[in-house]
Chain A
Amino acid sequence: MSPAVRRLINTVVSALTLLAAALVICPLLLIFGFLLYRGLSALNVDFFLHLPKPVGEPGGGVANAIVGSLIMIGMATAVALPVGILGGAYLAESRDRRLPWILRFVADVMNGVPSIVFGIFAYTVAVIPMRRFSAFAGALALGLIMIPIVLRTTEEMVRLVPNSLREAGLGLGIPQWKVNLRIVIPAARAGIITGAMVSLARIAGETAPLLFTALGNRFWHQGLDQPIAALPLQIYAYAIAPYDDWHRQAWAGALVLITLVFLASLAARVATRGRTIAR
């Protein structure tokens, strides 16, 4: 082939890959555009402060769903964060032979398990024995989704901490555990926060695992052993309902949800700005 033809092919392929990248980004702009267009008009202060109205009455809000989501996310985080961070620190620092490989593999595979399967698991271990849907069961499903994400990001971030820091600590005679908890993990703090925010962004939008664990609720929460509302569940219920007013609320709810998720993702990026190895 002559050089001219080869250069031509090079240009054509480059243009095609550019086109592919543009097409990949298109849906984001379309989705965000529609969310703003349909959601902003339905947003008002009531939306954040009031309970849902019964069918037929316009107005009302999703305050209970926002609170419900926060409660379940809080419960999930309280358990998943320490477990994930300690497990990740183990992966990064351990010199065991088999176990880290197994754990890493299990965590990655868990990361790919469909979230609805965690819902079934929570149903079998929490809903069936308690004989009722509950905030607790929902939080359990969310926590299980969260752990592998936190674990693997923590591992990556702890690995980035220079060995000289560890050696300096150990050289001063500080015990290993204190070097880990007081020097290594704090040094990796920003990255660990990133992992936490990424996992928060993920579970905040999860709907499928809550369908038959938290179930949803049209009232304020009545205790952790009772069905509880969640923002994604409410969006789903409104979206598939046949009422125009509920559709408007679904768009507004989706706009709120995606804003929260993007803020969390953005916070995750800001926390590790300038640390290129993470990506």
Chain B
Amino acid sequence: MSAGAATGSGTVDRVSLRPRAIAGTHRGLGDRVYRAVMLASVGLVLLAAAGLVAALVWESREALRAFGPRFLLSSQWDPVAGEFGALPFVYGTLLSSLLALVIAVPLSLGAAIFLAELAPAWIRPPVAFLIEMLAAVPSVVYGLWGIFVLVPWLRDWVQPALGRTLGFLPLFQGPPYGIGMLAAGVILAIMIVPYITSVSREVLLAVPGSQREAALGLGATRWEATRIAVLRYGRSGLIGAVLLGLGRALGETMAVTMVIGNRPEIAISLFAPGYTMASVLANEFTEATSDLYVSALVEIGLLLLLVTVLVNGLARLLVWSVGGPTRGARE
């Protein structure tokens, strides 16, 4: 690589003078080496991906053997007694992510439609920029803000208000701690909104202009053109964008760990503390004393990996179906 780089501009002269020599020997060798180096990097990436799965399966073998499918069905998490059931964590992960989607999807799709279809041109770049900044905020910073700003606000204002108005639903019963499932759902929603917004925006932008023009030409208003021609055309991509957000929410660790309360119980109320798969890893991994304990935690990691790979794989295929595989690479 550096040998080729060092010859500089003289190369071109030499090549033009003696093309056959280059073509005959050097090109073949150089190209073969270059291709080998590229393929080595590719192999490294694929190897890392395969190694990831293999290492997790191997390290969780003890728990896999000891509990089998009971691991997913039991809600007993008692490290002292050596009983490990992951149900409360699975439940917490699913409920907090679902809650996040309920809040985030209408907001992000609205914002994406605004940015791609309805907003005046001058307003689009700054708003898109701000939303990208939101995506760059580290998880731990969201968590810090969650502990000291969001949680007190939920405890003092939102939860009492929800309890008064919707308190007849089991979802909104119990004492307002602030910390708990609701806080986790809200912080997750804030975190996944930028992803869903920017991927949906790219999906909408990938819809051919002729679609819009046809609808507008028939006398549709801007919104009608968007609804009839653009949203329908990009539907599978938008579902993919939502799934990408879901994938983020399922695996999000720090911010959730800091606000969810970390109690391995299955409660119906959103005000109650909960626990997620990622949080239990963050909290208990360094404290795990027995091999079985570590193994059970790694199995939770393996579950998390499988679920997110499934969700992300599906999401990618859907997003690619609209714009082709080179779009949406940088969420």
* A interface residue numbers (CB < 8 A to B): 6-7, 9-10, 13-14, 16-21, 23-25, 27-28, 30-31, 34-35, 38, 82-84, 86-87, 89-90, 94, 99, 101-121, 123-125, 128, 144, 147-149, 151-153, 155-156, 159, 172-178, 180-182, 195, 198, 201-202, 204-208, 211-212, 215, 232, 235-236, 239-240, 247, 250-251, 254, 257-258, 261-262, 265, 269, 278-279
Contacts and interface: CB of A to CB of B under 8 A. Distances in A.
Nearest to A108: B316
Interface of B: 1, 4-5, 11-12, 15-16, 19, 22-23, 26-27, 30-31, 33-35, 37-42, 44-46, 48-49, 51-52, 55-56, 58-59, 106-111, 113-115, 118-119, 127-134, 136-145, 147-149, 190, 193-194, 197, 202, 221-224, 244, 247-248, 250-254, 258, 278, 281-282, 285-286, 297-298, 301, 304-305, 308-309, 311-313, 315-316, 325-326, 329-331
Contacts of B313: 105, 109
Contact of A239 (B130, B147, B251): B147
Given A116-B278, A121-B56, A125-B55, A106 B45 contact: yes
B329 A108 contact: yes
A202 B143 CA distance: 16
A113 B308 contact: yes
A212 B46 contact: no
Contact of A30 (B19, B109, B149): B149
Contacts of A83: 41, 44-45
B305 A113 contact: yes
B301 to A, nearest CB: 4
Contacts of B137: 28, 31, 205, 258, 261
B221 A110 contact: no
Given A25-B134, A173-B22, A208-B282, A117 B301 contact: yes
A175 B326 contact: no
6 contacts: A24-B134, A87-B45, A120-B56, A173-B22, A215-B286, A261-B136
Contact of A121 (B52, B140, B253, B329): B52
Describe A's contact surface by its main secondary structure.
helix
A103 B39 CA distance: 11
A9 B223 contact: yes
Nearest to B315: A112
Grouping DSSP codes into helix (H, G, I), strand (E, B) and loop, the B interface class, with mixed when no group exceeds half, is: helix
A173 B19 contact: yes
Contacts of A152: 329-330
B30 A178 contact: yes
Contact of B145 (A34, A102, A110, A144): A34
Contact of A114 (B11, B145, B308): B308
A14 B286 contact: no
A182 B278 contact: no
Nearest to B139: A207
Contacts, number: 309
A34 B149 contact: yes
Contacts of A82: 41
Nearest to A17: B114
A173 B12 CA distance: 8
Given A10-B224, A114-B278, A174-B15, A207 B254 contact: yes
Contacts of A250: 144
Given A109-B312, A258-B137, A174 B11 contact: yes
Given A89-B38, A175-B22, A178-B11, A201 B136 contact: yes
Given A86-B37, A87-B41, A178-B11, A262 B136 contact: yes
A254 B136 contact: no
Contact of B23 (A90, A102, A111, A173): A173
A120 B251 CA distance: 13
A124 B149 CA distance: 37
Contacts of A103: 42, 45-46
Nearest to A12: B223
Nearest to B222: A10
A267 B220 CA distance: 42
Contact of B30 (A155, A159, A175): A175
Contacts of A106: 45-46, 49
B101 to A, nearest CB: 15
In this complex, the member of B12, B34, B115, B278 whose beta carbon has the largest number of chain A beta carbons within 10 angstroms is B34
Nearest to B153: A30
A21 B114 contact: yes
B305 A124 contact: no
Contacts of B308: 112-114, 117
Given A114-B304, A265-B136, A20 B119 contact: no
Given A114-B308, A153-B329, A208-B254, A9 B221 contact: yes
A176 B148 contact: no
A165 to B, nearest CB: 13
A149 B26 CA distance: 33
B253 A24 contact: no
Question: Taking each of A7, A107, A175, which has the highest tally of chain B beta carbons within 10 Å of its own beta carbon?
Answer: A175
A24 B45 contact: no
B38 A235 contact: no
B41 A24 contact: no
A116 B282 contact: yes
Given A35-B141, A124-B56, A144-B48, A104 B110 contact: no
Given A173-B22, A177-B31, A182-B4, A117 B52 contact: yes
B26 A21 contact: no
